[in-house]
Amino acid sequence: MSGVSWQYKAAVFVLILAATSCADVRRHYHYFLDMHYSPAGDTAKWDDIGNRQFDMQEPDYTITYGGKPAYPYQKDVDVERASRELVAPANFDLKRGEKYYQIYCSPCHGLSGNADGPVAKKMPTVRKLVGQPAESYPLTRIYHIATVGQGTMKGYAPQVREEDRWNIAAYVKNELQKKK
Shortest reach from residue 130's CB to ligand HEC, in Å: 10
Whole-number Å distance between alpha carbons of 29 and 104: 21
| Contacting residue, 65, 133, 136, 179, with ligand HEC by CB under 6 A | 133
Q: Name which of 72 and 103 has its Cβ closer to ligand HEC.
A: 103
CA 43 to chain centre: 18
Shortest reach from residue 117's CB to ligand HEC, in Å: 7
Q: Decide: 173 and 144 in contact? Cβ < 8 Å.
A: no
Of the candidates 117, 113, 119, 99, the residue with the CA atom closest to the CA atom of residue 160: 99
Whole-number Å distance between alpha carbons of 171 and 125: 22
Q: Name which of 62 and 85 has its Cβ closer to ligand HEC.
A: 85
From the list 34-42, 49-57, 58-66, 106-114, the region that binds ligand HEC by CB under 6 A is 106-114
Q: Name which of 88 and 123 has its Cβ closer to ligand HEC.
A: 123
* Residue 151 makes contact with ligand HEC by CB under 6 A: yes
| Contacting residue, 142, 148, 157, 170, with ligand HEC by CB under 6 A | 142
Q: Decide: 106 and 149 in contact? Cβ < 8 Å.
A: no
Kindly list the distances between the CA atom of residue 109 and the CA atoms of 80, 104, 167, in Å, as whole numbers in the listed order: 22, 9, 16
Q: Decide: 17 and 27 in contact? Cβ < 8 Å.
A: no
Residues of the shown chain interacting with ligand HEC in the complex, contacts defined by CB under 6 A: 104-105, 107-109, 119, 123, 125-127, 129, 133-134, 142, 145-146, 150-153, 156, 168, 172
